[in-house]
Amino acid sequence: MKLTDTHTHLYVEQFDEDRHQVIENAIENGIDRFFLPAIDSTYMPAMHALQNDFPAHIFLMVGLHPTHVKKDYQKELISVEQELKQHKFYAIGEIGIDLYWDKTLLVQQQEAFRYQIQLAKQHKLPIVIHCREAFDEIFEILELEKSEDLYGIFHCFTGNLEQAHRAISYNMKLGIGGVVTFKNGKIDQFLDQIALDHIVLETDSPYLAPTPYRGRRNESSYLINIVDKLADIYKLSPEIIANITTKNSKDVFGI
């Protein structure tokens, strides 16, 4: 059984002491493709170094995370453009809007999100969306930008069934991770009404560890727990879940 973690921050500080061991453990458990979303320019050297260490397994994105959008965000967008000229990337992400921590920079987040969507279209790349307490704001921009060349993943999807269908209508796969295993996660209550063709798997490690690891550092190897939960929801074998979701990830990222 081969699995793809479509969203994991393996380069961040939480893995400094055992990063290579964490990756090797995941590979031994069948998770052999890791897609790394960007945060801002300060993390790019660590991301490139990790890809150099595991070139057959690590695939990079580039972008400016909404919680790192500041008043001078244009400098970061210039850095994104420079990276795109110099390196191979598989998506623009994670990008979007986050109104959980700070609502004062909404306009800047909106501008950065839309600009990066347009960058993705120019480079024929998918986008990976971060949305926290901002479904209406995200959908407003997706509606403005909708086109055949707009596609990607709605990372860490935590919305309701109506919002799931709307996200899918914009050519987005739903990134399903640890939240689906939470007792109060809610998405497990309707996920079987969404065709598995619209689902990709993710951990968002080191965040959002699935049950029974909730509250601890998340790891890509815990993707197995998410597979088991989806197998229960869809009444399919873990192997079928793995095969379909890995194919879906290949459809998005082109590899």
Domains and CATH numbers, the chain: 3-253 (3.20.20.140)
What is the SS3 string spanning the chain?
A: CCEEECCECCCCHHHCCCHHHHHHHHHHCCEEEEEECCCCHHHHHHHHHHHHHCCCCEEECECCCHHHCCCCHHHHHHHHHHHHHHCCCCCEEEEEEECCCCCCCHHHHHHHHHHHHHHHHHCCCCEEEEEECCHHHHHHHHHHHCCCCCCEEECCCCCCHHHHHHHHHCCEEEEECHHHHCCCCCHHHCHHHCCHHHEEECCCECCCCCCCCCCCCCCHHHHHHHHHHHHHHHCCCHHHHHHHHHHHHHHHHCC
- Predicted confidence at residue 165, as pLDDT, reads 98
Higher pLDDT, 14 or 183: 14
Does pLDDT of 22 surpass 90?
Answer: yes
- Predicted confidence at residue 101, as pLDDT, reads 87
pLDDT tens digits for range 98-129: 999 889 999 999 999 999 999 999 999 999 99
